[in-house]
Structure formats: structure tokens, C-alpha cells
Amino acid sequence: MSVALEMMSYHSSCGEDELGLLSREEVPNQLAGVDNYYFCPIFLEDMDKVRHAIYMFVDLFGLSRFEKDNLIRFTLTVKKNYRRVPYHNWTHGFSVANSMYTIIKHAPKAFRPLECLALFIGSLCHDLDHRGKNNKFMLETESPLAAIYTTSTLEHHHFNQTVTILQQEGHNIFGKLTSTEYKQVLGNIKHCILATDLALFFPNKARLIKLVEDKLFEWENPDHRLLIEAIAMTACDLCASAKPWDVQVETVKVIFEEFYEQGDAEKAVGKKPIPMMDRTRTDDQAESQVGFLSGICIPCYELLHKLIPDTEPLLNGCKENLQRWKQIAEDKKKEASKIKEEDGEETDTGIEEVNEEEEGEETIEEIDDECVDGKNDAGKEDDT
């Protein structure tokens, strides 16, 4: 077991050349725009994302209780342990951490220092070693991970990957914390990462909404604080939905490419994928986004905004994108309806011509084929 761990550590750890390069660099005192809710990480090179992540950590927590080289090693190794899948990759992990950093910067009194530490590191690591497939796929294909974790399969794995990295030599960024602090932060990181399972979002949201509506929410109540942490994690995980339109569109492209790759894998084993994971149903993307933003993202940001008003830009950005998707979805519906009408007119004309000219059975069969082809051109479903 120790040999296997040693081999895994070697192959999954950062390189000494990268460490040396960043160790020699000074952490800047300021990075313009990084604390803007609409900051666009997709345009940064991977190593620049590492630099930005280190800057955000130092800006929030300083270095008096953290070793700089350990922080660099940890961040580089986190980058390396995100797989090269279309969406759940290093760019996504960094984006979520950047959104959490922005919330903490704009609402510095919402969370306590150790909570902020858990929220930021939990965000950075929340999708470590994601395979580009969802929990349902893991269970249905009897993945080895599903045999270990029967609920929140991937999220438990992401947390365990985080712990594995922390345990590698020179990677324990929490080494100067007391044992009590270390235990608290690690437990809170687990809570934060598990909260990114959307299956848990709905009960968390329902509990928190009831507390708010009944005017029973108390910032001093530990359970209530865990709920708002969970909602904040979901909000950051969904941050692409609130980014400027050009970033939203580019992100949706890679999200659906990952969906389609799962759909292809399902087809390969004889299963029929749901419409949003079927690459033959690309016209459904806008309608899926309307359902996703209106059913999940907007309710999440509305709830977060009630408790942390400084997060309003997330809500506003998401609402703007929702309107754009609604317009596109409506245009797609009109286009599909027009095609159906045109197909119907062509079919009627064809049958009349056959009846008048009495061309016979062969021509009727050709028209029937056209009708079938016309029906196969349309299609719609929803959800993202």
C-alpha cells in the first residue's frame, strides 16, 4: 500500500521546475479585476491561474501561518489532479475558487476566518479528479468509486483527493494550524465539497428558505452557518451562469460537450441518453439552459442575496443570461414550427399531385418517405 501511495504521489505531484519558477516570483500586492464577480478566468493560461490562486490565498489569509512553498506545491498539484475533460477541469476549479474569493472580499464579515479558509480551499478542490461523468453514470456503470461511496460518489472522491494531496510531503498548507483548527477546517472542507452535489442543494435550499421566511435564521447558529456555506458553494459552482454573455456561451459549449461525451458512452453500452446528453439534439440547448437557470441558478442566487446582499451581481448576471436564453429558445421554437408548417404544405401538395396525375404506388411511397424525413427534423426537451 505504501509503495502504491508513493508511486501515485510521484505521478500526481507538481514538478520541481514549476515549483522553482514560482518560488522565485514575488506574490503581487494587487491583481486588477480578480475580485470582480464578472472576472473571466477562461482567458487565463493554466500557470497564470496558479499564480492568481496563490495571490487570492495570500490576499485573504497572508503567509504568517502558511509556508509559501507548501502553498505553491499544493496549488500546482491541485492543478495537475484536475483531468483534461471538457468542463470539470482546472479552469472550472479555479473559477469556483475565484467566485468564492470575490464573495469573501465583498462580504468580509459574512464568514469567520477558518470558515473562509475552508470555503476557498473547498472551492479550489471541489472537483478534483472529475472524470467528466455524473454520479448517476458512476452508479449505473458500477464504477469502482460507486462501490466505495453509494451517495455523493464523486464529491466524496473529490474530498479524499484533497486529503491525499495535503498528506504528500511539502503539501500540507495547514501545517501551522493547531490540531483543533486543523480538524475544524478539514471537516468544514468536507462539508463544502459535499455541498456541491446538486442532489443536496434542493433540501439545503428548502431548509434555509423556511428559516428565512419564518424569520428564524440566526448567524450565530452553527447549523444555520453550515447551510449558508452550502448555498454559497452551490452559487460559486454555478458561477458560469452569471458571467458576461460571451463567457456564458463559451462555457455552455464545453458543458454540453462533456454531456455529449457521457451520452456517447451510454449509447456504447446500449443505453439511451437523456435529450441534453444526446449530441443529435443540439437544438435543445437553449431550452435546457432556460430550465437550468430558472429552476436552479436563479433560486440559489435569490436566496444567497437575501442573506448576503453583496452577492447581487451574481443574481443580476444570471437574470440577464436567462433572458438571452429565453429569446434564443423562443426563436428555436418559431423556427421549428415554421419548418413543420412548410413540411406539411409540401406533403399536401405532393399528395394532390399524385391524385391528379395518378402516378401510382411508387410515387406515393416516395412522398411517404419525405413525410417521415420531415418529422425526424424536429425535436425538443429540457434541463441542464
203 alpha carbon, distance to own chain's centre: 19
Residue 262 annotated as lining a ligand binding site: no
* Residue 152: φ, ψ to 5°: 45, 50
- Cβ atoms 225, 219 nearer than 8 A: yes
DSSP secondary structure letter of residue 14: P
Q: Are 321 and 286 in contact (CB under 8 A)?
A: no
Q: Is 237 annotated as a binding residue?
A: yes
- Please indicate if the annotation marks 91 as binding a ligand: yes
| Residue 289 known to bind ligand | yes
Question: CB within 8 A of 264, min separation 6: which ones?
Answer: 279
Whether residue 168 is annotated as binding a ligand: the answer is no
The one-letter code for the residue type at 314 is L
Q: Is 191 annotated as a binding residue?
A: no
The three-class DSSP label of residue 90 is: helix
User: Could you report how far apart the first and last alpha carbons of the chain are, in Å?
Assistant: 40
CA angle 302–329–320, rounded 5-degree value = 35
Catalytic residue among 52, 88, 130, 158: 88
Cell of 60: 485573504
Backbone angles phi, psi at 89, to 5 degrees: -120, -170
197 is in an annotated binding site: no
Does residue 158 carry a catalytic annotation?
no
Half-sphere exposure of 61 (CA within 13 A, CB side): 25
Known binding site for Zn(2+): residues? 92, 126-127, 237
Known binding site for AMP: residues? 88-92, 127, 237, 289
Write out the catalytic residue numbers: 88
Known binding site: residues? 88-92, 126-127, 237, 289
